[in-house]
Amino acid sequence: MEHFEMIEKLCGKAGVTREEAADALTRANWDMLEALVLLEQDGKIPPLTSSVATVTPARSRQSAGEKRSAADGDAFIERTRDLLEKSLAYSFIVRRQGKEVLYLPVLVGIAIVLASFRLSALALVLGLCFGCRYSVEKRAQ
């Protein structure tokens, strides 16, 4: 990086004039970090911040983790319950020539597909060949 580019970058990062940036970089032997430290020491920029890690007793860390896990677990259970309710509210329907041939809750259809994927895929393709139409519809309540 050229000196001009370094001066411009330091001006942008530190919010100082070009002259102040050039002076700090010259004194720091063109080391950007050292120049920032010099500008801070001169009072031209506010103190540099750094992240500080605090150490907590093991017991406190564990209880915080348990609380987080419990909250995550509750949210997971709630999402799962919602998904199950929706999968029971909707039905997988197979029709042929306008008549319903098969009427299953989506949850049951998913279980069948998971249990025997290849057989299910073959059955769906054969059904298409024989004029079957598939749909997922919300059950009338």
Cα–Cα distance, 102 to 58 (Å, whole number): 57
The predicted structure's pLDDT at residue 72: 75
Dihedral sign, CA of 104, 107, 109, 111? negative
Check residue 58 and give its pLDDT: 52
Torsion sign, CA atoms 100, 102, 103, 107? negative
pLDDT at position 117 is: 92
Tell me the Cα Rg of the chain.
33
Predicted TM-score (pTM) of this structure: 0.43
pLDDT of residue 54: 52
Distance from C-alpha of 95 to C-alpha of 136, rounded to nearest angstrom: 11
Region class of 73: left (phi > 0), else alpha (psi between -120 and 50), else beta:
alpha
57 CB contacts (<8 Å, ≥6 apart)?
Answer: none
Per-residue pLDDT of the chain (141 residues; tens, 9 = 90+): 688 888 999 888 888 999 999 999 999 999 988 998 899 888 888 876 655 555 555 554 545 555 556 677 788 888 888 888 888 888 899 999 989 999 898 888 888 989 999 999 999 999 999 999 999 988 765
